[in-house]
Structure 1
Amino acid sequence: MTAQTPIPDDVREYVHDIARRARVAARQLALLTRAEKDAALGALADAVEAAAPHVVDANREDLERGRSRGLAENLLDRLTLDEARVRTVADALRQVAALPDPVGEVVRGSTLANGLQIRQVRVPMGVVGMIYEARPNVTVDAAGLGLKSGNAVILRGGSAAASTNARLVSLMRAALEAHGLSPDAVNLLSEGGHDAGRALMTARGLVDLVIPRGGASLIRTVVTESTVPVIETGVGNCHVYVDAAADPGMAVRIVTNSKTHRTSVCNAAESLLVHRRVAGTVVPAILRELGAAGVTVHGDEEMEAYAEAAGVAHVPITAEDDDTEFLSLDISARVVDDLDAAIAHIQEHTSGHTEAIVTDDRAAARRFTTEVDAAAVMVNASTRFTDGGEFGFGAEIGISTQKLHARGPMALPELTTTKWVVEGDGQIR
Structure 2
Amino acid sequence: MLFDKVKAFSVQLDGASPGAEPVFRGGQAVAGRVLLELTSPVRLGALSLRARGRVHVHWTESRSSGSSTAYTQSYSERVDVVSHRATLLAPGSGEVIKLPAGRHQFPFSFQLPPILVTSFEGKHGSVRYTIKAVLHRPWVPARRAQKVFTVIEPLNINTPALLAPQAGAQEKEARSWCSGRGVVSLSAKIDRKGYAPGEAILVFAEINNSSSRPVRPRVAVVQTQTFTARGARKQKRLVVASLAGEPVGPGRRALWHGRALRVPPVGPSILGCRVLHVDYTLKVCVDIPGTSKLLLELPLVIGTVPLHPFGSGSAGLDSHTSLLLDWALGGPLQQLEAPPDYWDVIAEGEAEAARGRLTLGAWEPPFLACVPEFRYCPPPLYSEVSCFQVLEDEEDRARTG
> Is this a same-fold pair by TM over 0.5?
no
Larger radius of gyration: 2
Higher relative contact order (CA 8 A, sep 6+): 1
* Higher fraction of helix: 1
TM-score scaled to structure 1, two decimals? 0.17
Structure having the larger proportion of residues in strand: 2
Give TM-score, length-normalised by structure 2: 0.18
